[in-house]
Structure 1
Amino acid sequence: MRLTAMSYNLMRVFEEISKTQLPELIHPSDKKYSEALEIRQQQAQKRDRFVNPLFF
């Protein structure tokens, strides 16, 4: 179980690094999700609330 969790976390780190170094390789669905999340964040701030950090 630990090996599975470590492998998953390592893959996530590689994915995040590749997104910052080569932004043109980001999948369109990821871009769409990020934009929608930004809109939700702005709407929540207007109401003095916040979006759950697990969505990021």
Structure 2
Amino acid sequence: MNNDAIVKFAQSLRGSLIGRDDPGYDEARKLYNGMIDKRPALIARCVDVADVVSAVNFGR
């Protein structure tokens, strides 16, 4: 992933962006279904619709 793009994305969020090396990553990646154990590169903690739109667009 391009670090400049990640920084720009993080700055566009009202919520937070959590990476694998960040505190709280393991807690943030937990899902309701404990049988699923995924390790995404980034987790966007969206607080509004604009954050969701930004996260989806960044993911594309």
TM-score (norm 1): 0.26
Give the number of the structure whose alpha-carbon radius of gyration is greater.
Answer: 1
Higher helix share: 1
Larger relative contact order (CA 8 Å, sep ≥ 6): 2
Higher strand share: 2
